């Protein structure tokens, strides 16, 4: 296989091995990988991937990933973290947050970096039922997939325009705005966690 040395050859390689690429993206979507999914949206704008199959792939991967983590938390949560007191305390904080704000948590946990890979384990350790979790998780994972892929796709459009118009800063502003939103959500979550921590 020829290793691509520029963007055009990379996009051609992605288009040539589309089925394998969708499988890889599915695996990354299981872990809610923002950067990979954003870049996949950018690649979709370039025509190497199809927008709708990409969104569906990321949607299913994200949905199933959290179902697996929820099941792990429900089945093994207490014993899994009992050996690691610091991690156990952190998980208990997320469990309390889930018991008090489960709708907000499920809708938002895929975006902040520090929690998106483990939050659903805490959901499984909480009082949240399968009947409550599944429909919200289905909607939240679909929103995540559509929003993140669309941002990457739109950034591809704006980048293309910026190349045609050197004075355009829209693409840069959009990227900075997205990073700012990610930072805001992370800080908001950290603030909620600090408020939920028991006083020493």
Both ends of the chain: CA-CA distance in Å? 58
Percent of the chain exceeding pLDDT 90 equals 36
Chain segment 98-133, per-residue pLDDT in tens: 898 899 999 988 887 777 878 999 999 999 999 999
pTM of this structure: 0.77
What is residue 196's predicted lDDT score, i.e. its pLDDT?
A: 55
What is residue 193's predicted lDDT score, i.e. its pLDDT?
A: 55
What is residue 128's predicted lDDT score, i.e. its pLDDT?
A: 93
Helices 34-45 & 130-164, crossing angle to 10 degrees? 50
Residue 148 has pLDDT above 60, yes or no: yes
Q: Measured between alpha carbons, how far is 33 from 183 in angstroms, rounded to an integer?
A: 16
In the chain, what are the helix, strand and coil shares in percent, each to the nearest 5? 80, 0, 20
The length of the chain in residues reads 200
Q: Please answer whether residues 123 and 70 qualify as being in contact, where contact means their C-beta atoms are separated by less than 8 angstroms.
A: yes
What is residue 63's predicted lDDT score, i.e. its pLDDT?
A: 97
Supply the DSSP string of 30-60, one letter for each residue.
Answer: HTT-HHHHHHHHHHHHTTSS-HHHHHHHHHH
Query: For 32, left (φ over 0), alpha (ψ -120 to 50), or beta?
Result: left
What is residue 190's predicted lDDT score, i.e. its pLDDT?
A: 59
What is residue 89's predicted lDDT score, i.e. its pLDDT?
A: 80
Q: Please answer whether residues 145 and 33 qualify as being in contact, where contact means their C-beta atoms are separated by less than 8 angstroms.
A: no
User: Predicted confidence band at 91 (pLDDT cuts at 50, 70, 90)?
Assistant: confident
Q: Which among 31, 27, 34 is positioned nearest to 183, based on CA atoms? A: 34
User: Predicted confidence band at 138 (pLDDT cuts at 50, 70, 90)?
Assistant: very high
Average pLDDT, the chain: 80
Mean pLDDT of 19-30: 90
In this structure, what token pair is assigned to residue 109?
Answer: 């946990």
What is residue 167's predicted lDDT score, i.e. its pLDDT?
A: 45
Place of tokens 């290793």: 3
User: Predicted confidence band at 141 (pLDDT cuts at 50, 70, 90)?
Assistant: very high
Q: Which among 154, 145, 143 is positioned nearest to 177, based on CA atoms? A: 154
Mean pLDDT of 182-187: 65
What is residue 165's predicted lDDT score, i.e. its pLDDT?
A: 52
């Amino acid at each position: 296989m020829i290793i691509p040395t520029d963007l055009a050859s990379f996009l051609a390689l992605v288009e040539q091995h589309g089925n394998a690429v969708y499988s890889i993206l599915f695996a990354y979507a299981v872990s809610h990988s923002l950067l990979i999914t954003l870049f996949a949206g950018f690649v979709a704008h370039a025509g190497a991937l199809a927008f709708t199959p990409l969104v569906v792939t990321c949607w299913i991967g994200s949905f199933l990933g959290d179902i697996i983590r929820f099941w792990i938390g429900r089945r093994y949560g207490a014993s899994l973290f009992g050996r690691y007191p610091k991690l156990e305390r952190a998980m208990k904080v997320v469990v309390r947050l889930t018991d008090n704000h489960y709708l907000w948590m499920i809708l938002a946990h895929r975006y902040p970096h520090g929690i998106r890979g483990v939050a659903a384990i805490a959901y499984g350790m909480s009082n949240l039922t399968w009947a409550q979790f599944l429909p919200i998780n289905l909607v939240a994972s679909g929103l995540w997939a559509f929003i993140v892929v669309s941002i990457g796709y739109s950034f591809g459009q704006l980048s293309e325009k910026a190349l045609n118009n050197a004075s355009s800063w829209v693409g840069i502003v959009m990227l900075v705005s997205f990073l700012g939103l990610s930072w805001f959500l992370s800080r908001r979550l950290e603030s909620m966690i600090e408020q939920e921590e028991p006083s020493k």
